[in-house]
């Protein structure tokens, strides 16, 4: 029998760009409505490189979600100069839940990122000791490497050697996009996990070129071939607990996307859990949704699972063409399209 409602433990988003200032105020309520907690990416300008900056940012986020019980899980932005002392401070703070590795130049606001992972050995050593996860943007930045191969090359050149040097380090391979990444996580130990976005499950690279150039389907790591999309779908059908929900929702104003040099990032916070639910249903895997969305993430991070729940109703609704973003507008993922699951109003 086809389901018409589904109730699951309240989910969390294990990879989210909430931004700052005016944008933060507009996008934060979308996430707070659906998710209990979210891992907040530190790629602000300037980036969140210290515990002091993280606590200030936490305060601004809490201001933007006032009246809700949403809990931001903060991260630090790893640089060549991140000291072991900063990691110790992060561990003691208790509210820093991970440290993000952006290879320098890989994506939005990554210029201050890491130029050579070996420069981070002292920090990584301390993280390994503390059980503080390294959250990895897994792409090499070498201009000669084809943009579609950057994740695969990253595994071979950076990630695999890193796991040999720090065998106990907890690592989240963020927003995986390839069969190679899925296979890497599958053969790795339980200290290695991965997040998967709704857009990498729903689309392959054809979506960027459907009848013309589609800037709102452009993100990093870029969408890959169909075989990779299929590998990610197989992973979620399998119910393997090393994989969990991370939207990578990354808002950019419309004019920054529809530009001669458009920004990477897909905003999906407006409908994230509904989109994941549709995908799991389409894969005949609705029974695997709750673990992916609500259990595997907290279990990996060593945090309690949420105790309340949300209900989704099988009901068509149309995604708006845009949302307001102060004086700008924001074009959401699946703008104008119909989604067939809807979060119940009272949750």
Which residues carry out catalysis? 248
* Contact between residue 98 and residue 172 where contact means Cβ atoms under 8 Å apart: yes
* Binding test (CB under 6 A) with ligand DOR, winner from 145, 188, 264, 335: 264
CB nearer to ligand DOR: pick between 9 and 107? 107
* HSE, side-chain direction, 13 A CA sphere, residue 66: 5
CA dihedral defined by 226, 227, 232, 238, rounded to 10 degrees?
130
* Contact between residue 345 and residue 275 where contact means Cβ atoms under 8 Å apart: no
Site for ligand DOR in 85-114 (CB under 6 A): 107-108
* Binding test (CB under 6 A) with ligand DOR, winner from 64, 220, 233, 275: 220
Give the three-state DSSP class for 313.
Answer: strand
78: left (phi over 0), alpha (psi -120 to 50) or beta: beta
Chain position carrying tokens 């979600």: 65
State yes or no: residue 13 binds Zn ion (CB under 5 A).
Answer: no
Residue 19 contact partner, candidates Zn ion, ligand DOR, none, CB within 5 to 8 A by sort of partner: none
In the complex, minimum distance from the CB of residue 342 to Zn ion, in angstroms, rounded to a whole number: 26
Query: Cα separation of 252 and 266, whole Å?
Result: 8
* Contact between residue 312 and residue 341 where contact means Cβ atoms under 8 Å apart: yes
State yes or no: residue 332 binds ligand DOR (CB under 6 A).
Answer: no
In the complex, minimum distance from the CB of residue 176 to Zn ion, in angstroms, rounded to a whole number: 12
Give the three-state DSSP class for 13.
Answer: strand
* HSE, side-chain direction, 13 A CA sphere, residue 101: 31
In the complex, minimum distance from the CB of residue 63 to Zn ion, in angstroms, rounded to a whole number: 22
* Binding test (CB under 6 A) with ligand DOR, winner from 250, 289, 325, 343: 250
In the complex, minimum distance from the CB of residue 174 to Zn ion, in angstroms, rounded to a whole number: 6
Question: Given CA atoms 23, 29, 35, 39 in this order, what sign does their dihedral have?
Answer: positive
State yes or no: residue 177 binds ligand DOR (CB under 6 A).
Answer: no
Tell the burial category of 334 from Cβ atoms under 10 Å away from its Cβ (0-12, 13-18, 19+). Answer: buried
CB nearer to Zn ion: pick between 248 and 281? 248
What are phi and psi for residue 341, nearest 5 degrees?
A: -125, 145
Site for ligand DOR in 15-34 (CB under 6 A): 17
CB nearer to ligand DOR: pick between 195 and 240? 195
State yes or no: residue 71 binds Zn ion (CB under 5 A).
Answer: no
In the complex, minimum distance from the CB of residue 304 to ligand DOR, in angstroms, rounded to a whole number: 28
What residues does 135 pair with on adjacent strands? 100, 172
CB nearer to ligand DOR: pick between 8 and 171? 171
Count of residues near Zn ion by CB under 5 A? 1
CB nearer to ligand DOR: pick between 43 and 229? 43
Residues found near ligand DOR in the complex (CB under 6 A): 17, 43, 107-108, 137, 219-220, 250, 264-265
Residues found near Zn ion in the complex (CB under 5 A): 248
């Amino acid at each position: 029998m086809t389901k018409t409602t589904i109730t699951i433990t309240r989910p969390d988003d294990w990879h989210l760009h909430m931004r700052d200032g005016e944008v933060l105020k507009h996008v934060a309520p979308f996430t707070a409505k659906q998710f209990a907690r979210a891992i907040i990416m530190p790629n602000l300008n300037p980036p969140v490189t210290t515990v002091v900056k993280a606590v200030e940012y936490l305060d601004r986020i809490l201001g933007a979600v006032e009246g809700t019980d949403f809990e931001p899980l903060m991260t630090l932005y790893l640089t060549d100069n991140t000291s072991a002392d900063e990691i110790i401070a992060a561990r003691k703070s208790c509210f820093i839940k991970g440290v993000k590795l952006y290879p320098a130049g890989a994506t939005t606001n990554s210029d201050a990122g890491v130029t050579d992972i070996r420069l981070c050995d002292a920090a990584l050593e301390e993280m390994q000791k503390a059980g503080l996860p390294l959250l990895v943007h897994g792409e090499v930045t070498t201009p000669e490497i084809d943009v579609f191969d950057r994740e695969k090359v990253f595994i071979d050149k950076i990630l695999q050697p890193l796991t040999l040097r720090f065998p106990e380090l907890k690592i989240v391979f963020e927003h995986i996009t390839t069969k190679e990444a899925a296979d890497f996580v599958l053969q790795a130990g339980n200290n290695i996990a991965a997040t998967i976005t709704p857009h990498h499950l729903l689309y392959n690279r054809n979506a960027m070129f459907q009848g013309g150039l589609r800037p709102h389907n452009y993100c990093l790591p870029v969408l890959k071939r169909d075989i990779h999309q299929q590998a990610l779908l197989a992973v979620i059908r399998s119910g393997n607990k090393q994989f969990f929900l991370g939207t990578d929702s990354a808002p950019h104003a419309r004019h920054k996307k529809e530009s001669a040099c458009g920004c990477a990032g897909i905003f999906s916070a407006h409908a994230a859990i509904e989109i994941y639910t549709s995908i799991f249903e389409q894969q005949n895997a609705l029974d695997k949704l709750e673990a992916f969305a609500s259990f595997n993430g907290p279990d990996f991070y060593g945090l309690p699972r949420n105790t309340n729940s949300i209900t989704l109703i099988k009901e068509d609704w149309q995604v708006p063409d845009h949302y307001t973003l102060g004086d700008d507008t924001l074009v959401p993922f699946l703008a104008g399209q119909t989604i067939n699951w809807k979060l119940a109003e009272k949750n």
